[in-house]
Structure 1
Amino acid sequence: MIYRILAVNPGSTSTKIAVYDNDNVVLVKGIDHPACEIAKYNNIQDQFEMRKDEVLKVLKENNIDINTLSAVVGRGGLLPPVKSGAYLVNDQMIDRLVNRPIIEHASNLGAIISYEIAKQLKINAYIYDSVAVDELDDIARLSGICGMDRDCLSHALNSRAMAMKHSKNNNKNYKDLNLIVAHLGGGITVSVHKKGKMVDIVSDDEGSFSPERAGRVPCKKIIDRCFSGEYSHRDMLKMIRGNGGIVSYLGTVDVREVEKMINEGNEDAKLVHEAMAYQVSKSIGELATVVEGKVDAIVITGGIAYSNIITSMIKKRVDFIAPVDIIPGENELESLSLGVLRVLLGEENARVYEENELAKA
């Protein structure tokens, strides 16, 4: 049987969509939302109708009859902590995302758009591997300050999908392996997957700096800067997320531009480039201890994984731990679609979102 799945992935200034027939891609499109258009709306939720209409317009322009859809899946937004895998979108989830979002974020629109499209077609809408996936072991939650437990915010969608892809490509079952996955993008997160469960992470504020994020910084120095009187709360947040990392040192967020600088003999660029790879490697080594060194493979993914220079530097430092598999790209639309396909094929079950049951799930 052929299942046709629409995947919707909203970003800050674009909405990416894909249509899959089972695991075969039919359509992939990026819909740009100019800054002047976005500026018309007071908050992210207000953009819902505009974005939904744009999605439907693109489907029509590409001769995709929405009545042929079997399911719709949206990028899972910033909900309270949820488990991995698929959740059916329901009124409770929509109420949370519209009226009480944990954080205002464009990804919150994924479920809302999907639900509205699916409702008119009388089919199910899903999210899959939300940003808020939290399967941390209890021991991993402690931070060192009572009442300040670690949050589990990571690139769960692509990281789990690439862990599964690695497993399938090697004729193994994801639930039988211990894997470490490094997602290298605008932010960098590293996760350890123990027998199919993401039990610990190094988040983008705990590990390596990245093109635009500071990563792990010296606590005492950052506290001193906070109380220097020179910076506002907003300034400090922007310093570590948006103006930190590579852009702080070199004035660019583009790794390709950094590599061009290196080729032109820029020693500062060379040092920053190597330092990022060095710090990613440290995070991988850190998480290897979680599974007592019993790591079956290390997967490097994300947009920066297209850089042979970066992946080679990381591989050189970590391949003593386990074999390294490079699977570049964000792969989010594919990950959403194939996740829901597994639900439709009966290979996975979808959870029902109930806020009072989340902690017990």
Structure 2
Amino acid sequence: MLNNLVLVLNCGSSSLKFSILDPKNSKKYLFGLVDRLYLSNSYIIWFENKIKKKILIGDYISHIKSLKFIIKIIINNKNNLISKIKYIGHRVVHGGEKFIKPIIINDIVIKEIKKNSIFAPLHNPINLLGIDAAIKYFPKLRKNNVAVFDTSFYHNIPEFAYLYAIPYKFYKKYRIRRYGAHGISHYYISKRTSKILNIKLNNLNVITCHLGGGSSISAIRNGICVDTSMGLTPLEGLVMGTRSGDIDPSIIFFMHNILGKDINEIQKILINQSGILGLTNGITSDFRDIEKTYYSNIESYRAVNVFCYRLSKYISAYTSTLNGKLDAIIFTGGIGENSALVRELTLSKLKLIGVEINNILNYQKHSQDYFFINKNNTIPILVISTDEELVIAKETKKLFL
């Protein structure tokens, strides 16, 4: 019997996921995603009672148009479901230091999310689009919207890991520090790994790699995150679709002082024109495109190699945070789950720390939601399908119990 279902809207920088599910039994009655936002051949793929549907919705489709299509065309036509939706959960990337747990959305919360957009300019404004759409199209559920924050997972990171080596007053007065992102996914993956390996969460030491249009890596010791690659904003860390990840800050000074670029132009370059897009000379920001031509195209070859090299450095560095015990390395996200090439190129650089990939397993097609790709009797390497929507739904419902 359908009852008290949760609609989840997960508005990411390059995709938009949606789901209607029962958090009590984890059953999904409807779920899907909009892919290739702001690219050619944008499409929606969704499942209704395990029946797959797909529709091309045009080129360079925006989040606003996608949300309207999902709610008005897909969801509102499901009369058996629409009346059962009692709550709406939203992924919000940046909660700052104020929001360290999920919260029911009201005008004050919306104002704070907007305020924190300075720390997540590619994400919080998009997250707010989902909130605005939910309020507009489901006015009766206005008080049943919940924000679940990516940054919440990182609030226990030790001071020595979240502070930057700049004058301490900038943290005390302006809260400039490492906050992280993708926390909902890293949290789910850590709990899922605990069950798969049969290791209690409070004894689990893992390195989780969420790789997609945005990419991040986290070190989790005894079930608690102790470090993560994204920083004050989701710009720091790994190479991403359009974001540079780590750079020498002096590059900004060079662009300004020598090249004459103003700060707004530099911000646009680092957030919207760098990463995979920049390394391919503006050809694409979609990893699926460059993976196909890795061996035949110099731009693709360059971009993939930089991406994997940066990732391998982070993995090896994060082993130092785990007190001598590494239970597993996990890959998730669109790239992490689907790119055997990335996993091979990255893990082949980590033999010194005892990592051995089994490429037969790595390149095999797998139907289950997780699989191992390590050689026997070596450090477990897992590929796990993440489920941010399930976490969001459970956390949303919990606030109304």
The TM-score normalised by the length of structure 2 is 0.70
Q: How many Å separate the matches in 1 of 2:98 and 2:320? A: 25
Task: Give the % identical residues.
Answer: 22
The match for 2:21 is 20
1:287 alignment partner, one of 314, 318, 322 = 318
Check conservation: 1:161, 1:335, Cα contact below 8 A. Answer: yes
Change in Cα spacing, 1:232 to 1:202, as seen in structure 2 (3 Å) is same
Change in Cα spacing, 1:138 to 1:116, as seen in structure 2 (3 Å) is farther
Q: Secondary structure at the match of 2:329?
A: strand
Alignment partner of 1:320 is 2:351: no
The match for 2:47 is none
The match for 2:126 is 106
Deviation by residue 1:280-338 (Cα, 9 ceiling, x = unmatched): 0111122222223322222111111111010122223346264221125x643344234
1:207 alignment partner, one of 237, 247, 250 = 237
Check conservation: 2:21, 2:28, Cα contact below 8 A. Answer: yes
The match for 1:256 is 288
Q: How many Å separate the matches in 1 of 2:312 and 2:10? A: 30
Q: How many Å separate the matches in 2 of 1:70 and 1:114? A: 12
2:158 alignment partner, one of 117, 137, 140 = 137
Alignment partner of 1:332 is 2:378: no
Q: Secondary structure at the match of 2:320?
A: helix
Check conservation: 1:85, 1:339, Cα contact below 8 A. Answer: no
Q: Kindly state the Cα deviation for residue 176 of structure 1 after the two structures are TM-superposed.
A: 2.8
Q: How many Å separate the matches in 2 of 1:269 and 1:34? A: 26
Check conservation: 1:75, 1:108, Cα contact below 8 A. Answer: no
The match for 1:353 is none
Q: Kindly state the Cα deviation for residue 206 of structure 1 after the two structures are TM-superposed.
A: 3.6
Check conservation: 1:72, 1:118, Cα contact below 8 A. Answer: no
CA RMSD of aligned residues (A): 3.6
Larger RCO of the pair (alpha carbons < 8 Å, separation 6+) = 1
Q: Which amino acid aligns with 2:393?
A: S
Check conservation: 1:8, 1:15, Cα contact below 8 A. Answer: yes
Q: How many Å separate the matches in 2 of 1:34 and 1:268? A: 27
Check conservation: 2:208, 2:219, Cα contact below 8 A. Answer: yes
1:191 alignment partner, one of 205, 208, 218 = 218
The match for 2:53 is none
1:118-133 alignment, distance < 5 Å: 120-121=140-141, 124-131=144-151, 133=153
Deviation by residue 1:50-89 (Cα, 9 ceiling, x = unmatched): 9579626632212244432343211125333356553333
Q: How many Å separate the matches in 2 of 1:344 and 1:174? A: 23
Q: Which amino acid aligns with 2:165?
A: G
Gaps of 5+ in 2: 35-43, 45-56, 356-378
Q: Secondary structure at the match of 1:9?
A: strand
The match for 1:6 is 7
Check conservation: 2:71, 2:137, Cα contact below 8 A. Answer: no
Q: How many Å separate the matches in 2 of 1:301 and 1:37? A: 25
Aligned residues: 335
Gaps of 5+ in 1: 39-43, 347-361
The match for 1:175 is 202
Q: Secondary structure at the match of 1:263?
A: coil
Deviation by residue 1:158-183 (Cα, 9 ceiling, x = unmatched): 12112222222233333331221111
Q: Which amino acid aligns with 2:110?
A: I
2:269 alignment partner, one of 236, 239, 249 = 239
Instruction: Single out whichever of 74-83 and 303-312 deviates more from structure 2.
Output: 74-83
Deviation by residue 1:110-148 (Cα, 9 ceiling, x = unmatched): 455556778725974322233565412111122121126
Check conservation: 1:177, 1:296, Cα contact below 8 A. Answer: yes
Check conservation: 1:82, 1:130, Cα contact below 8 A. Answer: no
Q: How many Å separate the matches in 2 of 1:9 and 1:208? A: 22
Q: Kindly state the Cα deviation for residue 228 of structure 1 after the two structures are TM-superposed.
A: 1.7
2:307 alignment partner, one of 253, 276, 280 = 276
Alignment partner of 1:220 is 2:250: yes
Check conservation: 2:67, 2:130, Cα contact below 8 A. Answer: no
The match for 1:356 is none
Check conservation: 1:74, 1:114, Cα contact below 8 A. Answer: no
The match for 1:352 is none
Q: Kindly state the Cα deviation for residue 26 of structure 1 after the two structures are TM-superposed.
A: 0.4
Check conservation: 2:95, 2:149, Cα contact below 8 A. Answer: no
Q: Which amino acid aligns with 2:286?
A: D
